A and B are shown apart, each in its own frame.
Chain A
């Protein structure tokens, strides 16, 4: 079983690496780092003039870069999630794979793992570039910076998993839209409750909590990023945040399997 799953996961990674669209995203992200680096030239001049303290400025710049990268990487993750299984189904390669002794569960799990590995490689590339960037300023990235990137990676995997499960039953663009809805679910529920409140109505907290329950909570991981600049993180909240994101991703993978299990493929009328 493991050999089969490794084979499917490996081909998933290779296929994603061949995807031009995704490479455009990765290269775009690296260009953003480059843009920041040019702005840093100005920062160096300020440092030379003694207007700012080196460490603080570098942390702030890195924090901003990672936030931007996180957003871009999340976008890439959505397209990774949407394309992994959907492309196999649309192009028909899934029929070749499932005609071998590969169960649908193995196929979904291996595709999910392959996509997660691809995202890990992408973040490793980002981390390498940022490390070189910091080294250029005779500095090193702190453990927190790496932790932040890891947190962003987990969010990307979770985002990919959401898009992944929706893509099995929906058109890719509908899957993209639904993924955005889920990612912003808690904020949307809170916003609606606030609007109702502003109009004179009252939505009990319990209702808001119940309605928000199916959506991921990203606040705990945001606090990891905050530590880069403010140092306000507690280990407890970070741990729970990580667990929540990983769990959410796994639950979405299970959902993807349940949706894929009953999916009829090759629905052609001869």
Chain B
């Protein structure tokens, strides 16, 4: 059974007191398959959290439908098999991490002996064992986020829906979450992941969906998404500016000192000929290794990322 199936999912918030209706999500279709990490990306206001709220049954869709394991999102049978971490995780601040996890374990109907075992295991795994009896309200932001992740895992879910799971974490914490997600993936857990930290997403996800203003602008496997927009990067030495002028005449934009990116192989070959003809020396020829961040920025702004922002 497919963990998540969304078909033509859309949400329009009706305007109160004469305000115009607002379409937060247009028409989004996707699925999350067992054992894969799907990254759901988009700029602020793109409709990510609305999508998550629709998947969780917190909002009613205006169009289309979503199912979790074949059940409607509000069905308890679906929620028994998933773990959820909202972007702003709220909890009862007077409870200790141990009590909080026991509480959520009770909501899942887990028996006390098993619950105790799982709580201890999660507290240890997430580095909270030393602070397990302290009130969660006195935790740092990163520690609270760890508790949030622990509560999402208390039922050993088959599907994890995570909204910005690494926000508030230091680099060590981020590494821990990344390793944890990979471990869960290998165990067959499907992960629906929203994150703004694209370098991390890129290192763990199998498929990517990029949405903007409530519409899917790109989706596919990581290779497809990055590969679609790959070009060829040519580096050269130019004694004057002759090669640069020839490349500009071809419609290419040499970036910096002796580097040009051609959109495809044919153009790259013509660029090589032009550089040689102008007396330049080719020093490098390789596929342009674009990052997910570059693809993302291009998709949501319509322009390529500035050179300075590109990952090394």
* Chain A interface residues (CB < 8 Å from chain B): 3-4, 6-8, 11, 14-15, 18, 91-93, 95-104, 262, 264-270
Counting chain B residues whose Cβ lies within 8 A of the other chain, the interface size class is: 35 or more
Residues of A within 8 A of B74 (CB): 103-104
**B84 interface residue per 8 A CB criterion:** yes
Contact, CB under 8 Å: B49 / A266:
yes
What 5 new A-B contacts, CB under 8 Å, besides A4-B109, A93-B90? A11-B95, A99-B86, A101-B76, A269-B24, A270-B48
Decide yes or no: A95 and B76 within 8 Å by CB, A11-B103, A269-B50 being known contacts.
no
Cα distance A262–B60 in the bound complex, in angstroms: 8
Interface residues of B: mostly helix, strand, loop or mixed? loop
Residues of B within 8 A of A3 (CB): 106, 109
Contact, CB under 8 Å: A268 / B49:
yes
Residues of B within 8 A of A4 (CB): 106-107, 109
List 10 A-B pairs, minimum CB-CB distance, nearest first: A92-B90, A100-B107, A99-B84, A101-B76, A7-B106, A101-B80, A270-B49, A93-B90, A265-B58, A101-B79
Contact string, B143-182, partner A, CB cutoff 8 A, digits 1/0?
A: 0000000010001000000000000000000000000000
Cα distance A14–B99 in the bound complex, in angstroms: 12
Cα distance A267–B16 in the bound complex, in angstroms: 13
Cα distance A104–B90 in the bound complex, in angstroms: 18
Distance from B152 Cβ to chain A, minimum over Cβ atoms (Å): 8
Which one of B39-47, B238-246, B258-266, B287-295 is at the A interface? Answer: B39-47
Contact, CB under 8 Å: B94 / A18:
yes
Decide yes or no: A8 and B13 within 8 Å by CB, A269-B45, A270-B50 being known contacts.
no
16 A–B contact pairs at CB < 8 A?
A4-B106, A15-B92, A18-B94, A92-B88, A96-B89, A96-B91, A96-B104, A96-B151, A98-B58, A98-B79, A100-B79, A266-B49, A267-B13, A268-B50, A269-B22, A269-B45
Residues of A within 8 A of B276 (CB): none
Cα distance A113–B58 in the bound complex, in angstroms: 23
Distance from B81 Cβ to chain A, minimum over Cβ atoms (Å): 9
**B77 interface residue per 8 A CB criterion:** yes
**B255 interface residue per 8 A CB criterion:** no
Residues of A within 8 A of B24 (CB): 269-270
Cα distance A96–B90 in the bound complex, in angstroms: 7
Residue of A nearest to B110 (CB): A3
Decide yes or no: A100 and B89 within 8 Å by CB, A264-B59, A266-B53 being known contacts.
no
Cα distance A266–B57 in the bound complex, in angstroms: 10
Residues of B within 8 A of A98 (CB): 56-58, 79
Decide yes or no: A8 and B107 within 8 Å by CB, A101-B79, A270-B44, A270-B47 being known contacts.
yes
Distance from A263 Cβ to chain B, minimum over Cβ atoms (Å): 9
Residues of B within 8 A of A270 (CB): 24, 42, 44-50
Residue of A nearest to B44 (CB): A270
Contact, CB under 8 Å: B107 / A97:
yes
Distance from B10 Cβ to chain A, minimum over Cβ atoms (Å): 14
Residues of B within 8 A of A101 (CB): 76-77, 79-80, 107-109
Residues of A within 8 A of B60 (CB): 262, 264
Out of A93, A95, A103, A264, which one reaches B92, CB within 8 Å?
A: A93
